[in-house]
Amino acid sequence: MSEPVAHPPALHRHRERILALAALGKGALSRFESVRDVATLLGELVLATFALLRGRARFDRADTWAVVQASGASALGVVALVNLLVGSILAFVGAIQLQKFGAEMFVADLVGIATVREMAAVITAVVLSGRTGAAFAARIATMQGNEEIDALKTMGVSPVEYLVLPRVLALTVMTPLLYVFACAVGLLGGWLVAVGTLDLSNALYWDRTADALAGRHFILGAMKSFAFGALVAFAGCFYGLRAGRNAAAVGEATTSAVVSGIVGVIVVDAVFALCAYALDV
């Protein structure tokens, strides 16, 4: 028997470099395919929107109304709870710092501006990503595994028009409405803390809040919530359509949709913050 030939160190290092480059290339190709798939779905969604405006989009109206209800009214409870607590936390944190300077009255300014400009829109979007976006991904991924989407294509029905378009429109419309509700609840949470722990009067708190808030704060927050709703719905539908045809793929699609939705919300919020700073809004 012949003994195995030992590879010299130089050849071994060369093979490691080749394998590393191959892995890098595969990763780059995978990212390129993901970007291409996102662009493709986005283009199909735009075409489906134009078809809807012309009255030619094919989708189930009853299912669309169910999606609107699940995206809006059914989410009021968890949105109210989370934003109430966030408003209370902002008031507590602000009170601790402002009490050092005897400026407790300005806690209303802090809670009002932070809630309207940032926290109400971001927290609501995060809640919807973990709740509604995950539901979108799980529903579409299950249909993918049951070959229902293939059946739609066989009947000449576009899955983007039938499944994606109603969900994106529903969440895009309902998220700004939830944002307005979240602002009210967040301000209420700050009021409870300010009146209960700082001994501020009701009139003083609401007067300071009214003086601190301006229309541009609400416009910025509404624009953010509009973009967040579209992003969360798009992420859920995108990963649902890309899911495999087994039970494990449903969980993977749901997880990817939630993670991508939350990360996307934070990234888009950072872009809005940079634009607002540049425009002095």
Residue 201 lies in a domain: yes
Both structure tokens of 132: 């509604």
Q: How many CB atoms lie within 10 A of CB 237?
A: 27
Residue 2 lies in a domain: no
**What gap in Å lies between CA 63 and CA 67, rounded to an integer?**
6
pLDDT of residue 27: 65
Alpha-carbon distance values, 29 to 32, 237, 252, 260, 275 (Å)? 5, 22, 21, 19, 32
Residue 3 lies in a domain: no
Together in a domain, 151 and 268: yes
Q: Do 197 and 98 touch, CB atoms closer than 8 A? A: no
Together in a domain, 184 and 128: yes
Together in a domain, 149 and 86: yes
Structure confidence by residue, pLDDT tens digits, 89-143: 988 888 878 777 777 778 888 888 999 988 999 999 999 998 888 989 988 888 8
**What gap in Å lies between CA 82 and CA 189, rounded to an integer?**
10
Together in a domain, 113 and 233: yes
Residue 32: band (very low, low, confident or very high) from pLDDT cuts 50, 70, 90: low
DSSP class of 119: I
Together in a domain, 32 and 102: no
Burial class for 134, CB neighbours closer than 10 Å (0-12, 13-18, 19+): buried
Both structure tokens of 230: 């579209």
pLDDT of residue 266: 93
Q: Do 172 and 230 touch, CB atoms closer than 8 A? A: yes
Together in a domain, 160 and 269: yes
Mean pLDDT score of the chain, rounded to an integer?
A: 84
Together in a domain, 52 and 127: no
Residue 136 lies in a domain: yes
By residue range, what is the domain housing residue 53?
A: 8-57
Together in a domain, 30 and 135: no
pLDDT of residue 86: 92
Tally of domains in the chain: 2
Residue 12 lies in a domain: yes
Q: What is the mean pLDDT of residues 227-232?
A: 93
Q: How many helical (H) and strand (E) elements, i.e. helices and strands, does the chain have?
A: 12, 0
Together in a domain, 123 and 177: yes
Together in a domain, 211 and 257: yes
pLDDT of residue 228: 93
Q: Is the pLDDT of residue 205 over 90?
A: no
Q: What is the mean pLDDT of residues 171-197?
A: 90
Q: Is the pLDDT of residue 183 over 90?
A: yes
Structure confidence by residue, pLDDT tens digits, 49-72: 888 888 777 777 777 788 888 777
Together in a domain, 93 and 148: yes
Rg (CA), the chain: 25
Together in a domain, 225 and 259: yes
Q: What is the mean pLDDT of residues 183-206?
A: 86
